[in-house]
Chain A
């Protein structure tokens, strides 16, 4: 792990619409290169959910130069990892490679990103794969409950829809839809972050040779405007599956990254449900023995955040679990946070963040992710200090702001 400092190089413009942030590091022979593009699945509606993700997955199913099988051979032959991830607010295509195959990797990434074939036969294969993945996703009962929670919290918005799409929407995606999504994915502007064993000049030359010539020079429309999501009124939904456990997700709209209290909100989540000393873990698992898995999670999208607590427990304990979770959410609003707990949470948040910087991919990801969230890459340096500057009062204020009336989703066993 290398600590970056603010005097490191900033974004450099490689060409119109293409900026690079390069962090050479020869402590191992791995190179992680991520191309961030500001187009995600938040633009989708219930009708076309999953289109952007499917377009991303099809990038590896054949280009204008290589068939699906040939691409698979090239990727496996080099032993590299190459894939496209679509999030709500942005997408990235990345490669993790070694320095001896960096040139070929950059060339291949550029080829699949800009010149996918979208062959009809491959589209149908990918459609069947995606439909199967949706069915498997529904077999994972916690994931199923969580997805239902997102839908309940942000109905009628891309943030509430699964990135992978739904059975109904995926069945309707056409080649034209996919090509349209691909045009948006490749409209840029692009932010490219690379960390690892490379020579800066050589990598820039590689990108100039393979990536930049593919970038469309004509001006493109701004990315489709995504309206801010409107959170649903507090409510509780119960649905059934055959299962051993009941699954509960209880959550709230929360603060987006640009909110001045965002760091306090992250702190709040950590205190409540991140790690083995957090309140939900201690109260619901260690003291009451209600669950193996319980905690909380915070996700911050550009236009809205959300925070939820979760637990899986035997059905007869569901009421106790729900009440226990609500009690913890109430307690933090009314009781001052003890100093030792506050300091411990702060140290854990900062330490965990630093420990998560051990791989070149994670280092590159953080730099680009913060930038895509509108916080700038320097947030990667400032994050520990900003977390350390949060006060107990700010955490409590964030709690009062966020932990109002929840949206609750519960999966209960059919026979219960």
Chain B
């Protein structure tokens, strides 16, 4: 990987891949974790606004330029980051770079466009409310974190979105979209030296120093354990159950957690799947995951079930999480999980976008490439005892559970 840093602090990573296309991916180290409640949703809304024009390109013109060279582009906002990515034939690298660097540095955040786009964002909010999984995720995060960077929804609430002001957004944009708060990842069929020269020129004027908002949340506090029910016009019960989990500052624990969650809930031979679906037939789907964040996050199980046997599922699942201590992973389970993670990364990184996303994500939350570079070796070096320790530390907590359930299942007086 070819890497360099501009004088203003912008870190650039270029990975040559000889496949005739190139992906350019700008990762900005800000997301809903940087939002106080009064501006909740601003990172995501801003992501939309970056497609709405600069002094050079009017609204919609950037899309036209990218389409005109046969490119595809998009953006994503999460808790810890916002990123903008474009894939084009490698001959159009400079065109894509021109669009991306202009939108990152010179977006106007025009007031009329802001008002118009707010309607689009509110439609996105409504759409999410209609989706049981979208609702479940937001409710789960809100319940797991009593306070802290990850409590609030990435999209924001209807009220917070409605109240967002253009000037607050412009201020946020200038505070966080700075050279030292980004990493620019390029994966594709490019000459690194020529690519470097073009990037140095394109981003030379980007201001350097991030100036975080003073009321951005910092201290994490976990929420009260128990089961919370949300009623909706759905047919199935959608269950999310979560335990506290380490942030990326505890890298050894993160690795152990990745293995533990793979053994618990990745694949048809995983412990949760075998026990809850195949043997006890309590659930229709089940999986486990771990949201690796910069700050302390959560390890979770997602399940769907037809009958309201949520209490039983939570009880059985909690026992299975804790069994990682009393019934440690076998050598076969360890080998299978390592292989699954390794192949998952290999398959996921087959596209340029897959590579740029993985590289950019880990760079953004760790501040470097060491974690990703050494990930598989460190995973292979983990011992059963490491898994047991991390399971004992985090799964001994009582979990927080959210259920999105059919309205007919509601009993009188239920929350």
A299 lies within 8 A of chain B by Cβ: no
From A78, A133, A347, A359, B70 is in contact (CB under 8 Å) with A347
**Of all chain A residues, which has the CB nearest B273?**
A72
Q: How many Å lie between the Cα of A291 and that of B336 in the bound state?
A: 44
Given A75-B268, A312-B123, A359-B350; A343-B68 close (CB under 8 Å): yes
Please judge, given known A-B contacts A3-B20, A27-B19, A136-B304, whether A354 and B278 are in contact too, CB under 8 Å.
no
Of the listed residues B88, B284, B342, the one surrounded by the most CB atoms of chain A closer than 10 A to its CB is: B284
Inter-chain CA distance A76–B350, complex, in Å, is 20
Given A30-B347, A138-B235, A241-B233, A314:B306 Cβ within 8 A? no
Asked if A79 and B343 sit within 8 Å, CB to CB, the answer is yes
Q: Is the CB of A245 within 8 A of B339?
A: no
Q: Report B259 CB to chain A, min CB distance, Å.
A: 14
Tell me which residues across on chain B come within 8 A of A78, comparing CB atoms: 339
- Residues from chain A with a CB closer than 8 A to the CB of B127 are 244-245, 292-293, 312
Asked if residues B64 and A355 are in contact (CB atoms below 8 Å), the reply is no
Task: Please tell me the number of chain A residues within 8 Å of chain B, measured between CB atoms.
Answer: 67
Q: Confirm or deny: B166 has a beta carbon within 8 angstroms of a beta carbon on chain A.
A: no
Which among B120, B306, B339 is the interface contact of A135 at CB below 8 angstroms?
B306
Q: Are B346 and A98 in contact (CB under 8 A)?
A: yes
Cβ contacts A251-292/B at 8 Å (1 or 0 each): 000000000000000000000000111000010011101111
Question: Cβ of A163 < 8 Å from any Cβ of B?
Answer: no
Is A132 an interface residue when CB atoms closer than 8 A count as contact?
A: yes
A350 and B350 in contact, given A79-B339, A132-B284 (Cβ under 8 angstroms): no
In the complex, per-residue mask of A1-23: 1 if CB is within 8 Å of any chain B CB, else 0: 11100000000000000000000
Q: Which residues of B contact A (CB under 8 A)?
A: 18-21, 51, 59-60, 63-64, 67-73, 87-89, 116-124, 126-127, 129-132, 232-236, 266-270, 273-274, 278, 281, 284-285, 304, 306, 332, 335-336, 339-340, 342-344, 346-347, 350-352, 407
Indicate if the CB atoms of B72 and A351 lie closer than 8 Å.
yes
Q: Is the CB of A141 within 8 A of B339?
A: no
Which residues of the partner chain B approach A26 to less than 8 Å between Cβ atoms?
none
Known: A135-B235, A347-B67, A414-B233. 6 other contacts (CB 8 A): A75-B268, A76-B267, A277-B67, A286-B59, A293-B123, A354-B70
* Interchain nearest-CB distance for A86 vs B (Å): 19
Q: Is A366 part of the binding interface, using a Cβ–Cβ cutoff of 8 Å?
A: no
Given A289-B120, A313-B123, do A72 and B70 touch, yes or no (CB 8 Å)? no
Is A286 a contact partner of B60 (Cβ separation < 8 A)? yes
Whether the Cβ atoms of B89 and A81 lie closer than 8 Å is: no
A174 sits at the interface (CB 8 A): no
Interface residues of A (CB under 8 A from B): 1-3, 27-30, 60, 68-69, 72-73, 75-81, 96, 98, 125, 128-129, 131-133, 135-136, 138-141, 241-245, 275-277, 282, 285-287, 289-293, 312-314, 343-345, 347-348, 350-352, 354-355, 358-360, 414
Whether B236 and A136, one on each chain, are in contact in the complex, defined by CB atoms closer than 8 angstroms, is yes
What are the residues of chain B within 8 A of A291 when measuring CB–CB? 120, 123
Q: Considering the chains assembled together, what is the distance between the CA atoms of A73 and B332 in angstroms? A: 10
- Kindly list chain B residues whose C-beta atoms are within 8 Å of the C-beta of A131: 306
A345→B236 contact, CB < 8 A: no
With A136-B304, A291-B120, A312-B127 given, is the CB distance from A277 to B63 under 8 Å?
yes
Chain B: which residue is nearest A293 at the CB level? B127
Q: Is the CB of B130 within 8 A of A285?
A: no
Q: Cβ of B126 and Cβ of A242 under 8 Å apart?
A: no
Q: Which residues of A contact B126 (CB under 8 A)?
A: 244-245, 312, 314
From B122, B266, B342, B350, name the one whose CB has the most chain A CB atoms within 10 angstroms. Answer: B350
Q: Is the CB of B233 within 8 A of A289?
A: no
B70 touches A350 (CB 8 A): yes
